[in-house]
Amino acid sequence: MVKIGAAYGKLLSGEKVIRDFLAVGIGDQIREKVYLQAGDELLDVSGHQWLLGLDPRVIGIWVGKPGADLAGRGCYTLYIRDAAPLTEESSARNALGVLSMEYTDRIVEENGALFLFKVKAADIHHLDALRARLLYHKFYKKPGVDFERLKAVVAAYTYPRRVRIISFRFEDDKNYIFPMDLLADIPSAGRYLLGMRHSNQVLKRIMDVKKIVVAEAPAGYKKLIYELGRNHSVSPPPLDQLPFGVIATRQFGFYLPDWVESYKEIRIGQTLDLGSHMLLCGEWKEEVVLKPETPRLHHIHFFYFLHQKSGRLAYPIVP
């Protein structure tokens, strides 16, 4: 007998299982486009914007030019579009996700600056408003998750967020290996940003040691990657009990799965408290490439998956 909740979800979405995110494999350049309206200026920030905190929702945007300054513009709006760039016939407002934001801080580098914004309100156009509300009330509503929070997360995850493997080792020789998608790689500045929850049991240790490794991994290892998700909240298993071989990184000697394709060893400098998350700002000098690049694991929101199905633009789902 089909459960009432499952039947209701299928009626609303066409899917048997309602979830927060879908795992998709993306090999080529991401299709989605993102534009920032900062006062009178409209900027294409598609590959230079990241979700770094959740409560409140914090967006980081990199502007790669010396002396860049977005402060004092008054009004900031982020438009997330599914594929098409702006043309004379299409407005930035014709977007799936719209985030109204306020400027909070910046991190200045020699060749640009990272600007941090807090989301004030969100609007989404993935599904009709009634279906979105019904899905929220049945499947997403819980303490701390009101409809405004859901809309902001849906909008942010309309742009696929890449999942990376994090490795950290402390003096007791315990090696933590776990996945993350709240992070940003800025190659032009040699910087890495990681938004880690204050509840993460290894956060304080990472801030003390000031070193971490971030690796790129194939989407085909999704099951193992998700199993590693437990390692940032409990004591990690000994290396010889992991279901895969490991390699040691060149400088730090931190361990990574032997199937990662590349990694960067990062020294943590500045930290910023973003609310539910701590922003770790690090510097890296070299990317160590181990294997050819294949499609990488990304997260998109379930609402965006439903929109992609209707528009026949869906990325391949990673089983």
**Mean pLDDT for all residues in the chain:** 92
Mean per-residue pLDDT for 78-97? Answer: 78
Between CA 115 and CA 62 the distance in angstroms is: 6
Q: How far is CA 314 from the centre of its chain?
A: 19
Long-range contacts, 240-244 (Cβ 8 Å, 24+): 242/177
Predicted pLDDT at 1: 31
- Map tokens 């007791």 to a residue: 172
Work out the average pLDDT over 57-62. 98
pLDDT bracket for residue 254 (50, 70, 90): very high
Confidence class for position 174, pLDDT limits 50, 70, 90 = confident
> What pLDDT band is residue 89 in, cutting at 50, 70 and 90?
low
pLDDT at residue 212 in the model: 97
Quote the pLDDT of residue 291: 96
pTM of the complete model: 0.94
- What mean pLDDT do residues 91-112 have? 90
> What tens digit of pLDDT does each residue of 257-303 get?
999 999 999 999 999 999 999 999 999 999 999 999 999 999 999 99
pLDDT value, residue 3: 58
Average pLDDT over residues 105-123: 95
CA angle 45, 27, 29 (to 5 degrees): 25
pLDDT at 312: 65
pLDDT for 2 equals 42
Higher pLDDT pick, 104 / 65: 104
Could you give the CA distance from residue 103 to residue 224 in angstroms, rounded to a whole number? 38
| Rounded distance between C-alpha atoms, residue 265 and residue 284, angstroms | 6
| CA-to-CA dists, residue 105 to 68, 118, 169, 223, angstroms | 13, 9, 31, 37
Q: Which of 247, 228, 229 is nearest to 289 (CA)?
A: 247
Homologous superfamily in CATH for domain 32-159: Electron Transport, Fmn-binding Protein; Chain A (2.30.110.10)
Q: Which amino acid is at 305?
A: F
Q: In the prediction, which pLDDT does 137 show?
A: 94
Mean pLDDT across the stretch 66-92? 82
For residue range 142-172, list pLDDT tens digits in order: 999 999 999 999 999 999 999 999 999 987 6
Intervals of CATH 2.30.110.10 along the chain: 32-159, 162-294
162-294: what CATH class?
mainly beta
